[in-house]
Structure 1
Amino acid sequence: MTAVRTETAAGVRSIILCRADEYNTITPELRDELAAAIDEADNDPDVHVMLLRADGPAFCAGYGLDWSTQMQAAESESDRVWDSVADMRVLSTFIDVYMKLWYASKPTIAAVNGWCIAGGTDMVLCADIVVAGEGASFGYPPARVWGTPTTAMWVYRLGFEKAKRYLLTGDEIPAPKAAEIGLILECVPDDQLADHAMALAKRMAQVPVNQLRMLKLLCNQTAENMGLSSSRTLGTLLDGVARHTQEGRDFVARSAQAGIRQAVRERDDPFGDYGSRGRS
């Protein structure tokens, strides 16, 4: 494995995103390695809890926009119109992996450092519990153009009004604010994050694994009864639609012309957050 590595101690399987130089952006390789790591941990009788964390300055800065915008640009050169069914099938190969954190029979904890934005939130909000360093930041900037949250966990974590507040602006959410509004469980000093998350995972791992499985299933069933599966399906479909609106296509064209970093700056500069913080 090159994008993910694992470690095991005291009943806790650490699953570590290790594309640090690329801010752990999501690629097909990361998708496949993460899927294998979750499945392996869920099937290992010696593992009680999974702890997802990341090397480097960012937990996950979303999809690798270089390959994803290039893929859409190549698609636009085809003689065929956009195929929404094919698009959804491709995107679902990623979404199904993130949902493994939710549907794994054992508890999943995520320890977030640095950026966790865009597709990174699609992933991390599927974990059962999220803790973050106080310097971490969350958000879904593609809500401004070119995307919608695919796993659709925002409403289930925040409620209607707070989810709308942050999705209808795409605003950045610093970790202390994320904890205050209930997007994550808590934030701790950055230098205590690793130890704090591991201590929580080890404490949880002392409970018999059959008890952990039953309690997780019981809690998760509430969201299932609220329609999580249909919300996820709609979120995935609408993400494809958002990438193929006129504004979405213009964003891809601008990325090809000026580079993805410049296109993102032009999107975010009016809001003065994420990479544009301090520029406006």
Structure 2
Amino acid sequence: MEFENILYGVEDRIATITLNRPEKRNALSPALRREVVAALKAAEADDEVTLILIQGAGEAFCAGYDMNSYAGGQANPERPDGWNHSELFESWTGQFPRSCLRDWMTIWDLLKPVVAKVHGYALAGGSELMSMCDIVFAADDCVMGYPPTRAQSTPDIEYFPWKMSMAQAKYMQLGGHSVTGQRAAEMGWIAKSYPAEELDEQVMRELRPMAKLHPAMLSANKIALNQTYEAMGFRSALQSSVPWYVLAQGFRPGSGEFKTRAARDGLKSALQWRDGDFKEEGFVL
């Protein structure tokens, strides 16, 4: 398969998907998302693949969604697969979060385990992609979180209650906080963290023996675990977060303030307005 936005390869029964837009910190454009989904499905169909690793090229795993690809005055903005353009639906049914959930549930439904290796940053949409993977390893010093919940919207994918305790989920989402990989491991958000200089070596140390397990055994275990979370309401809970995104992003009082400031004063000014008080208190990493 030929790709423009990712690198894909298979070695020792491990399929590696590398997000390859380093100049954009691997921001998730519709094209990049489309290729990740295609690569995931190709790996699932390949009997020479036991498990799948997702990583990022350059200085970050993924800085979030590339919002320039979706909106902002473009005559023909690029849209993810499955986007409903109908005037009856587009303005109020949350086509953007629906598309995010549709893409990353591919990981959940895949018959093979998907592992994320995180360095640099995994923010907003990048943290969604990371959190939907079955296992996450990260560098101690990487930064992960969801700052847009301070001023823009609720998450596209409401993963917080499923990945950490209620105390930590509310702290992270209400404050839009970010934490290091080391802290994320302590919170139980991710499986393990390692010193940045050891991350590649340690992740392969984790994956080599796992890749030698029988794929059907891994699949049975993944499905059994996932069905337990399904019984607890995982899928319906994620689906129910879509209307809250729509309300928070487009209909609540003050919903357009960030976008207005960014258009009028520039993105840096809008980020300062959103994050400045937290930065002043030392909470911005």
Q: TM-score, normalised by structure 2?
A: 0.88
Is 1:35–2:42 an aligned residue pair?
no
What corresponds to 1:200 in structure 2? 206
Task: Give the 5 Å matches for 1:1-280.
Answer: 1-68=3-70, 70=72, 87-244=93-250, 245-272=252-279, 277=284
What corresponds to 2:83 in structure 1? none
Aligned partners of 2:93, 2:258: CA distance in 1, in Å?
18
CA displacement, residues 113-160 of structure 1 (integer Å, 9 cap, x when unaligned): 011011111111000000101121111111111122222221111022
The aligned amino acid for 2:44 is D
- Please tell me whether the aligned partners of residues 109 and 129 of structure 1 are also in contact (alpha carbons under 8 angstroms): yes
- Please tell me whether the aligned partners of residues 177 and 283 of structure 2 are also in contact (alpha carbons under 8 angstroms): no
**Where does the alignment leave 5 or more consecutive residues of structure 1 unmatched?**
none
**Where does the alignment leave 5 or more consecutive residues of structure 2 unmatched?**
78-85
- Please tell me whether the aligned partners of residues 135 and 174 of structure 1 are also in contact (alpha carbons under 8 angstroms): yes
From the superposition, tell whether residues 19 and 162 of structure 1 become closer, same or farther in structure 2 (CA, over 3 Å).
same
User: What is the CA distance between 1:270 and its match in structure 2?
Assistant: 0.8
Percent identity among equivalent residues?
28
SS in 2 for 1:187: strand
Aligned partners of 1:134, 1:253: CA distance in 2, in Å?
36
- Please tell me whether the aligned partners of residues 137 and 191 of structure 2 are also in contact (alpha carbons under 8 angstroms): yes
From the superposition, tell whether residues 11 and 86 of structure 1 become closer, same or farther in structure 2 (CA, over 3 Å).
farther
Aligned partners of 2:262, 2:182: CA distance in 1, in Å?
33
Structure showing greater relative contact order (alpha-carbon pairs closer than 8 Å, 6 or more residues apart): 1
- Please tell me whether the aligned partners of residues 150 and 239 of structure 1 are also in contact (alpha carbons under 8 angstroms): yes
* Count of aligned positions: 273
User: What is the CA distance between 1:163 and its match in structure 2?
Assistant: 0.6
- Please tell me whether the aligned partners of residues 101 and 156 of structure 2 are also in contact (alpha carbons under 8 angstroms): yes
The aligned amino acid for 2:254 is E
The aligned amino acid for 1:6 is Y
After the TM superposition, which of the residue ranges 90-99 and 101-110 deviates more from structure 2? 90-99
User: What is the CA distance between 1:195 and its match in structure 2?
Assistant: 2.0
User: What is the CA distance between 1:82 and its match in structure 2?
Assistant: 10
SS in 2 for 1:147: coil
User: What is the CA distance between 1:246 and its match in structure 2?
Assistant: 3.5
SS in 2 for 1:130: strand
The aligned amino acid for 2:65 is Y
The aligned amino acid for 2:48 is D
Aligned partners of 2:95, 2:71: CA distance in 1, in Å?
17
The aligned amino acid for 2:270 is A
Aligned partners of 1:27, 1:87: CA distance in 2, in Å?
21
What corresponds to 2:80 in structure 1? none
From the superposition, tell whether residues 144 and 202 of structure 1 become closer, same or farther in structure 2 (CA, over 3 Å).
same
The aligned amino acid for 2:33 is R
> Which one has the bigger helix percentage?
1
From the superposition, tell whether residues 272 and 83 of structure 1 become closer, same or farther in structure 2 (CA, over 3 Å).
farther
The aligned amino acid for 1:212 is L
- Please tell me whether the aligned partners of residues 97 and 245 of structure 2 are also in contact (alpha carbons under 8 angstroms): no
4+ runs of 1 displaced by more than 4 Å? 80-87, 275-278
Aligned partners of 2:188, 2:202: CA distance in 1, in Å?
19
SS in 2 for 1:272: helix
- Please tell me whether the aligned partners of residues 117 and 136 of structure 2 are also in contact (alpha carbons under 8 angstroms): yes
